């Protein structure tokens, strides 16, 4: 796994956005680029960069298919806290992606199991995911694969942990009682099947999880650690997120990546 350390969130976001732009632009003409996407505050800087790149004519999403990671159960796509709404507001409304190429799990489905099965089938029908972009929870989770999730899990229903509810209550007027208690989420195995994975990590609140994911072994209690077993995974982070890493670990990754940090 590569670890790209940049001085701040803005630079980390720019680095990741540039990396993904180059991947999309160098993809085989005519063959769709399949991009997995997250929500949360972590990817917002990357989405702002994507919009800027699109407006400057450097990037088009005409050839891109997207699959989002997760969605709250019980929220309609028009609910302001749904991940559907988040994606429309923060990315899709501002770029030239064809709406029929945008895939999100339906939080209002009457048959969650079938919805999850169809989602996996839709990913397979597109030839799999070329690049999965993700964030990381404070407890090291990816999508809604909470601590203890199977590392070979597929898209399914998950119950949200107290930690996830507490972290995300800020989007529900800080009121835990308004928070959904379950979500539909791609599995760790679904993410691991992507040909490439990039995780953006920012801030001190993530430092403990980043230490576990980078310096400790593969462990279902920190599901992002599964990426140690991925052929092509990158964690892009800011200095603050590295505060719990050993000085030697930080120096090591800064040294081996020193020629790759240009934005
Ligand atoms: C939720 C989302 C994750 C996201 C995490 C961290 O659990 N399901 O995909 O990575 O929150 O969110 P943030 O980026 O706001 O810290």
pLDDT at 129: 98
Average pLDDT for 5-32: 95
Say if residues 174 and 220 touch (Cβ distance below 8 Å): no
How far does Cα 159 stand from its chain's mean position? 19
pLDDT at 24: 97
Q: Answer whether residue 29 shows pLDDT above 80.
A: no
Two tokens, residue 21: 């732009």
C-alpha span between 87 and 73 (Å, rounded): 16
Q: Answer whether residue 92 shows pLDDT above 90.
A: yes
Average pLDDT for 199-227: 98
Say if residues 16 and 248 touch (Cβ distance below 8 Å): no
pLDDT at 28: 78
What residue owns the CA closest to ligand 1's atom 6?
A: 137
180: Cβ below 6 Å to ligand 1?
Answer: no
Q: Which residues of 39-73 are buried (b: 16+ CB within 10 A; e: fewer)?
A: bbebbbbbbbbbbebbeeeebebebbbbbbbbbbb
Whether pTM > 0.75 for this model: the answer is: yes
How many residues are there in the chain? 263
Secondary structure letter of residue 107 according to DSSP: T
SS3 5: strand
203 CA: nearest ligand 1 atom: 16
Q: What is the pLDDT of residues 162-179, one digit of tens each?
A: 989 998 999 999 999 999
On average, the pLDDT of the chain sits at 97
C-alpha span between 214 and 67 (Å, rounded): 26
Q: Say which residues have a Cβ less than 8 Å from residue 176's Cβ, sequence separation at least 6.
A: 165, 166, 169
Q: Say which residues have a Cβ less than 8 Å from residue 84's Cβ, sequence separation at least 6.
A: 71, 77, 78, 104, 107
Average pLDDT for 252-256: 98
Centroid of ligand 1 to alpha carbon of 165 (angstroms): 11
pLDDT at 259: 98
Give the mutation target among 40, 158, 165, 210 for probing the ligand 1 site: most ligand atoms within 8 A of CB.
Answer: 40
Say if residues 163 and 198 touch (Cβ distance below 8 Å): no
C-alpha span between 119 and 237 (Å, rounded): 30
Half-sphere exposure of 193 (CA within 13 A, CB side): 17
Say if residues 49 and 13 touch (Cβ distance below 8 Å): yes
Q: What is the pLDDT of residues 129-159, one digit of tens each?
A: 999 999 999 999 999 999 999 999 999 999 9
Q: Answer whether residue 30 shows pLDDT above 80.
A: no
What residue owns the CA closest to ligand 1's atom 3?
A: 143
pLDDT at 186: 98
Q: Which sequence positions are flagged as catalytic?
A: 70, 139, 141, 146
């Amino acid at each position: 796994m590569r670890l790209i350390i940049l001085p701040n969130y803005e630079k980390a976001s720019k680095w990741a956005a540039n990396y993904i732009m180059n991947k999309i632009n160098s993809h085989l003409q005519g063959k769709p680029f399949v991009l997995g996407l997250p929500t949360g505050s972590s990817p917002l800087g990357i989405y702002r960069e994507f919009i800027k790149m699109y407006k400057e004519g450097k990037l088009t999403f005409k050839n891109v298919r997207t699959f989002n990671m997760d969605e709250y159960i019980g929220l309609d796509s028009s609910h302001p806290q749904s991940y559907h709404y988040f994606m429309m507001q923060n990315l899709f409304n501002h770029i030239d992606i064809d709406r029929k190429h945008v895939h999100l799990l339906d939080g209002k489905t009457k048959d969650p199991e079938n919805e999850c099965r169809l989602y996996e089938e839709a990913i397979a029908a597109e030839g799999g995911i070329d690049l999965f972009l993700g964030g990381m929870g404070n407890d090291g989770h990816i999508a809604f694969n909470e601590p203890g999730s199977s590392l070979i899990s597929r898209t399914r229903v998950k119950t949200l942990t107290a930690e996830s509810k507490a972290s995300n209550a800020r989007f529900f007027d800080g009121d835990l009682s308004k928070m959904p208690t379950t979500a539909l989420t791609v599995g760790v195995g679904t993410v691991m099947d992507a040909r490439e994975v990039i995780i953006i990590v920012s801030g001190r609140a993530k430092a403990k999880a980043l230490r576990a994911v980078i310096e400790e072994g593969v462990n279902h209690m920190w599901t992002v650690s599964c990426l140690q077993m991925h052929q092509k995974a990158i964690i892009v982070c800011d200095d603050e997120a590295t505060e719990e890493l050993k000085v030697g670990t930080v120096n090591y990754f800064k040294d081996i990546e020193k020629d790759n940090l240009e934005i």
